[in-house]
Structure 1
Amino acid sequence: MTKIVDHDQRRLLIAEAALRVIRQMGMKGATVRNIARESGLSLGALRHYFSTQDDLIDFSMRLVKERATARINKLIDLDIPLFPKVLRILLELLPTDDNKLAEMEVWFAYTAHYRSSGTAFDAEHDGVLDLVERMLHSMKESGVLRPELDCALEIERLYAFIDGIALHAFLDTKRVNYEQITNLLTYHMKSICTEESFS
């Protein structure tokens, strides 16, 4: 009997293999041959789903972004006060568990590769700045952000803060561990919000 292949599932399996290879070997090691070996497929079978290495890597990175977006959208839909909601959403941007650390590592590798490759690169491709802007504007409109603060400056400061924590965690996971990341972000957010919002 002919075996029925779920093509979407097969593409996902290949993308997962690509993410593991990128994490273990960096972008230079993310060759079609290495990814085929990791996924347990032949080169011919892999090329049936992705005709070029760039197609495969782009699909894998979209998968990382889509998973993070799905987690964030679930939190946005929660019926809870704004301060804890924003805090939980922003923590999704940071490596606060093993899965998110793995996602961040491959995202950094991807970003560094394409910035140095000479191809067109959108510096805001990860969507972090857009999300930070939306969160802080919502906080300002709801009276959660301290009224004397300059919202535009706080957006840039929080954006830099998130990127900085992520980079430090990437470079030194022992010093900047998961608990430390949560404590740092909570401390910062409390410093820019009204006391009533988190009491």
Structure 2
Amino acid sequence: MPKVVDHEERRRELAGAVWRVITRDGVAHVSMRTVAAESGWSSGALRHYFATRDELLAFACEQVLTRVTARITALRPQGTPQEMVRALLLETMPVDSERHTEASITFAFLALGLGDPALAAVQRKILIGMSELCQNLTRHLLPDASPQQQLSAARRLNAMVDGLSVHVLAGHLTPAEAVAELDAHLTTVSP
């Protein structure tokens, strides 16, 4: 009897190999060859799932979005609106090794998306998702504010989280320092 292969699981395994290469060597070192070597597969077997490097990279980045979205959706934070917002935003920030890897991959796509429309489309999904998350969270933080005030506060919150994340990735801040800055910002965003 032929072996049943879970193709989506195989694709996720390859995304994991892409993440490891990016984390260890940087996104410039991702190639079909390096991902095949990292996964223990042949380049031919890898090409059965992804025809090009860009297709492989796009899938790996989409997997980050899927993982973060699943974590946020499953989270049921308790406490004040600021505490709940904090808990949800920390799922998107590089405050531990898993989230550091995810943020590294996500921010690597900013540069890649500048020159490639397919990768730019994936990056847009991530940016739009984060923007929508911040808008939803700001509605909880500032329920009595006007829609324009909420939108402005959401944009500042989004910029704060992105900026703190970049500084952690660059080694300019520790995760604890970034969390402290987020906490300080959230105390200023209140009804």
Scaled by the length of structure 1, the TM-score of the pair is 0.83
More helix by share: 2
Query: Partners in 2 of 1:79 and 1:168 — Cα distance?
Result: 28
Unaligned runs of 5+ residues in structure 2 are none
Report the number of matched residues. 186
Say whether the 8 Å CA contact 2:36–2:46 is kept in structure 1.
yes
1:197 match: none
Query: Partners in 2 of 1:48 and 1:118 — Cα distance?
Result: 22
1:71 match: 71
Larger radius of gyration: 1
1:104 match: 103
Matches within 5 A, 1:58-97: 58-75=58-75, 77-78=76-77, 80-97=79-96
Deviation at residue 20 of structure 1 after TM alignment = 1.0
Unaligned runs of 5+ residues in structure 1 are 195-199
Deviation at residue 83 of structure 1 after TM alignment = 2.7
2:155 match: 156
Two-structure CA RMSD over aligned residues (Å): 2.3
Query: What code does the residue aligned with 2:57 have?
Result: I
Query: What code does the residue aligned with 1:11 have?
Result: R
Is 1:38 aligned to residue 38 of structure 2? yes
1:39-83 Cα deviation digits (max 9, x unpaired): 0001111111112222211111111011000111112x4565433
1:137 match: 139
Deviation at residue 5 of structure 1 after TM alignment = 2.9
Alpha-carbon distance change, 89 to 114 in structure 1, aligned in 2, over 3 angstroms: same
Deviation at residue 124 of structure 1 after TM alignment = 4.1
Query: What code does the residue aligned with 2:182 have?
Result: L
Runs of 4+ in 1 over 6 A off after TM superposition: none
119-128 vs 53-62, greater mean Cα deviation: 119-128
Is 1:14 aligned to residue 20 of structure 2? no
Percent identity (aligned): 31
Query: What code does the residue aligned with 1:69 have?
Result: T
Query: What code does the residue aligned with 1:20 have?
Result: R
Query: Partners in 1 of 2:40 and 2:116 — Cα distance?
Result: 32
Say whether the 8 Å CA contact 2:18–2:35 is kept in structure 1.
yes
Match of 1:182 among 163, 179, 183: 179
